[in-house]
């Protein structure tokens, strides 16, 4: 059974693309056949984060408009065998995607035997974001512990519950998951940042985990590596946990508290 998973947030710059790249890579590492689609038409970035920007010949819009076949446009990942990327168009405008066209591509991917189709949503709550979530079976809500991000997540939840295909056709609702990214435990402890419990309380969405604020995310994106593949990185381990929990595994939460520095470290630095 194929599953369509949208990674969405309302607000921009919260970590959707970072999360889409790492979760799709993580699912493929578990042996699933995964396609990750960049819905951010005009502002494509997923190809850069996945490190395949120089191999994009045809994109999602070309396929939707019948100018290329899915086979021609899907880019096979160089590191993980069962992972494929469908890049967004750099040049077209947002209206180049239609509901029918996107629906057809998703149907074709299902028929091709993809287990997971991960949709990296553009920012906003308008047409582009609505199209990215329309066909979803599950949603990963990416939220930063910050007022405008929480508010926008709540608005996108409203759209998931009212304007998705599942909602319109009266099927079971989209299964929602919360991922809190760019989490800074020290600032939470200082009372300067909303805590995980605060955000869960406010949004009431089942929680997959936190991704700590980490320099490794920038390093990874510099080299075109999904951060989950970065060795010895908190962010990589956090994404690995999130993927496992998404697949139903029970794992204790980590990275919620600041690593306490011992007296020695306090006195002599690191």
Q: Under the rule (CB under 6 A), what is the footprint of ligand ADP?
A: 9, 12-18, 45, 123, 181-182, 211, 213-214, 217-218, 221, 235
Question: Can residue 158 be called a binding residue for another protein (CB under 8 A)?
Answer: yes
Residues 6+ apart with CB under 8 A from 250: none
Question: Can residue 201 be called a binding residue for another protein (CB under 8 A)?
Answer: yes
Question: Can residue 167 be called a binding residue for another protein (CB under 8 A)?
Answer: no
The radius of gyration of the chain's CA atoms, rounded to the nearest angstrom, is 18
Please identify which residue in the block is written with the tokens 């446009």.
73
Phi and psi of 192, rounded to 5°? Answer: -100, -10
| 138: partner contacted, choices ligand ADP, Mg ion, another protein, none (Cβ within 5-8 A by kind) | none
Q: Which is nearer to ligand ADP, 58 or 255 (CB)?
A: 255
H/E segment holding residue 129 = helix 127-134
Q: Which is nearer to ligand ADP, 49 or 61 (CB)?
A: 49
Question: Can residue 44 be called a binding residue for Mg ion (CB under 5 A)?
Answer: no
Torsion sign, CA atoms 60, 65, 71, 72: negative
Question: Can residue 22 be called a binding residue for Mg ion (CB under 5 A)?
Answer: no
| 218: partner contacted, choices ligand ADP, another protein, Mg ion, none (Cβ within 5-8 A by kind) | ligand ADP
Question: Can residue 192 be called a binding residue for another protein (CB under 8 A)?
Answer: yes
C-alpha distances (whole Å) from 17 to each of 38, 68, 108, 249 are 8, 24, 23, 24
| CB 22, CB 41: distance < 8 Å | no
Binding-site ranges for another protein (CB under 8 A): 146-147, 150-151, 154-155, 158, 162, 188, 190-195, 198, 201-202
């Amino acid at each position: 059974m194929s599953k369509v998973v949208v990674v969405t947030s309302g607000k921009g710059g919260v970590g959707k693309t970072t999360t889409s790249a790492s979760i799709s890579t993580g699912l493929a590492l578990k042996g699933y056949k995964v396609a990750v689609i960049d819905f951010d038409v005009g502002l494509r970035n997923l190809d850069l984060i996945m490190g395949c920007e120089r191999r994009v010949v045809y994109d999602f819009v070309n396929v939707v408009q019948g100018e290329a076949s899915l086979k021609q446009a899907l880019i096979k990942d160089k590191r993980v065998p069962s992972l494929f990327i469908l890049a967004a168009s750099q040049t077209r405008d947002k209206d180049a995607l239609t509901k029918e066209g996107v629906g057809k591509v998703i149907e074709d991917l299902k028929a091709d035997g993809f287990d997971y189709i991960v949709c990296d949503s553009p920012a906003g709550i308008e047409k582009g974001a609505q199209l990215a979530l329309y066909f979803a079976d599950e949603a990963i809500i990416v939220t930063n512990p910050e007022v405008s991000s929480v508010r926008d997540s709540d608005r996108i939840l409203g759209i998931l519950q009212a304007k998705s295909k599942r909602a319109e056709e009266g099927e079971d609702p989209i299964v929602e998951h919360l991922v809190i990214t760019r989490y800074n435990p020290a600032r939470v402890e200082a009372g300067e940042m909303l805590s995980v419990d605060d955000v869960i309380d406010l949004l009431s969405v089942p929680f997959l985990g936190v991704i700590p604020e980490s320099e490794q995310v920038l390093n990874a994106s510099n080299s075109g590596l999904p951060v989950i593949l970065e060795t010895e990185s908190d962010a990589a381990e956090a994404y690995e946990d999130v993927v496992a929990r998404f697949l139903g595994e029970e794992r204790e939460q980590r990275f919620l508290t600041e690593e306490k520095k011992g007296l020695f470290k306090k006195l002599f630095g690191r």
